[in-house]
Structure 1
């Protein structure tokens, strides 16, 4: 098995970052992570964040940046992440008006092309990070595949979130392998599901919905190795697909563990597979 460098999506420890940004980076490195993927800069300047990553020996590989924020000022927003040293920047999530099944999905496709061109100009690569709502079909083809088929690979590459592929009804390893040569970063995320998936799925990742009725808890994110995912198969597929990095992400802690404890469990499990 390839000895992938391992990054942590910092959204996983967002509350820790709010309380102690540098101290959290130091802890992430101490757990054995090689790099980080940002989800916000917490009011800090790009130069400061670049210096902190260098100080603590973390590679700033990527960032999740809201689509509307990037579209509002592509050169400035993407330029900040280029200044930090990120090689990749990802569209992380689509609000409802930009999703497949709406007129706004065409704006997403056009925007991805524009942002991909801007990223390329800055020496970066644009990625798309999926959830499960892209696994609806447009003329017999998944919307996620429509996006990748429409925007050229040099402008848009994949950041397959293996949890959401599974929730969307597809095999994560097979889906990573499908995009061989276009999958530089693979998101490793575990989960547990008993029964049907809840209607309010995205409240689990901090996205509020109008529906407030209590639902039976049937889904939760888990540290790697504590859920339903077949990570040996996913890692083998990632190696075949030419992935450069794997990224651990856990949107919400579980099992009565803190976010940092979950991050530790995940990397300890990963090390048994790839190191």
Structure 2
């Protein structure tokens, strides 16, 4: 059975409300994904997966369900216009989701959801640290003393979280350690580079062609104004390349690093599959 779910914030901002339906006629309302009668083999399609509901969606996966989220939220508005839907209510959004082809939804697994939660917190710390550093540099030495403690605290928390992300990536991604070794970032001096690599393995499907991955990151061969690429994942690639070069990289440098990751991933995956009996590969 397919469950189509619109996830939206409550008006009082106290959490999220989920409107769902299996047929577009009968609608139900819950506060958590785990309250839906989802069982083994069911498919859950959502417009977005709030970080706060990570554990709930992992629980659905544990029940044997499949979870898919919309690749581009802009498809909601385009589909509304195509269908002539004016309302933006939960029910209207569910009907809109049901009209979108399955190919525009991405299936998620526990590794993705678990890593995404930590990476989201890490990115927040990066932004906080950058903001505090800019403020620190803009004020006098006396005023800067008030910012030094929160600035140092943000950096320490960033390092601690990066270590956790790297540790989890080594457990959850079979090719992670080999790729880090291939790039020469296995030592403690490249912690931020290894964290950035974990982000890339979380958000990029390296089984796809290199051209598709390159376009997903906005590394277009021809000059383009197309902004439909993952800016946050491109930033991770940029941070990884900086850690390798110790200087600001060009797009070509980033593409070369991406190619090394892609080739290593494919080689390690093929070698691992070659060592598994055919009957176990399915």
Larger radius of gyration: 2
Which structure shows the bigger proportion of residues in strand conformation? 1
Normalized per residue, the structure richer in helix is: 2
* TM-score normalised per structure 2: 0.27
Q: Does 1 or 2 have the higher relative contact order (CA < 8 Å, sep 6+)?
A: 1
Q: TM-score, normalised by structure 1?
A: 0.27
